[in-house]
Amino acid sequence: MKTFPNVFEPALSDIIQQPFPLKSQWNSAYFGNTHPITLELGCGRGEYTTGLAIRNPDRNYIGVDIKGARIWQGARYALDNQLSNVAFIRTRIEFITSFFGPAEVDEIWLTFPDPQEKKRRAKKRLTGSRFLNAYRTFVKPGGSIHLKTDHPGLYDYTLKLLAYNNQQPEVCTTDLYASSLAETVGAIQTYYEQMFLREGKKVLYLRFALKTDHEYAEIPETE
* pLDDT, tens only, 1-10: 668 999 999 9
Identify the pLDDT of residue 223. 45
Identify the pLDDT of residue 127. 98
pLDDT mean across residues, the chain: 94
Q: Give me the catalytic one of 14, 58, 106, 114.
A: 114
Q: How many CB atoms lie within 10 A of CB 82?
A: 7
pLDDT(200) > 50: yes
* pLDDT, tens only, 41-69: 999 999 999 999 999 999 999 999 998 88
Sign of the dihedral through C-alpha 184, 85, 63, 41: negative
CB–CB of 205/173 below 8 Å? yes
Can you give the chain as a three-state secondary structure string?
CCCCCCEECCCHHHHHHCCCCCCCCHHHHHHCCCCCEEEEECCCCCHHHHHHHHHCCCCEEEEEECCHHHHHHHHHHHHHCCCCCEEEEECCHHHHHHCCCCCCEEEEEEECCCCCCCHHHHHHCCCCHHHHHHHCCCEEEEEEEEEEECCHHHHHHHHHHHHHCCCCCCEEECCHHHCCCCCCHHHCCCHHHHHHHHCCCCCEEEEEECCCCCCCCCCCCCC
pLDDT(147) > 60: yes
Identify the pLDDT of residue 177. 96
Sign of the dihedral through C-alpha 197, 65, 105, 32: negative
* pLDDT, tens only, 155-184: 999 999 999 999 999 999 999 999 999 999
Q: Which domains can be identified in the chain, with CATH numbers?
A: 7-209 (3.40.50.150)
Q: How far apart (Å, rounded) are the C-alpha atoms in residues 144 and 32? A: 23
Active site annotation includes 80: no
Q: How far apart (Å, rounded) are the C-alpha atoms in residues 13 and 86? A: 25
